[in-house]
Amino acid sequence: MTDYCEEQRNELEALESIYPDSFTVLSENPPSFTITVTSEAGENDETVQITLKFTYSEKYPDDAPLYEIFAQLNLEDNDVADI
């Protein structure tokens, strides 16, 4: 039998260590969090930033998490649609 809660906790700990400055837990039950990713500066010294929100389903990782684009900076709508 799979212990989904333990697997989810372990993954959250791993994500927090990978993204220490951009990982934010929003809720414990169901597990919900955001990760903000910022690009390197481009031609005009402009960066692109996106915040993704994930919510684990009860049976994650066997079932896919819900996700949405929570916030964006310097992204065109068509770029967001491609994501």
- Asked if pLDDT for residue 2 goes beyond 90, the answer is no
**Quick one: 11 exposed, middle or buried, by C-beta within 10 A (0-12, 13-18, 19+)?**
middle
Mean pLDDT for 55-73 is: 91
CATH number at 4-82: 3.10.110.10
Percentage with pLDDT > 70 across the chain: 94
- Asked if pLDDT for residue 23 goes beyond 80, the answer is yes
Burial 33-61, CB ≥16 within 10 A → b, else e: bbbbeeeeeeeeeeebebbbbbebeeebe
Residue spans per domain, the chain:
4-82
Q: What is residue 79's predicted lDDT score, i.e. its pLDDT?
A: 72
Please give the Cα distance from 36 to 39 (Å, whole number): 10
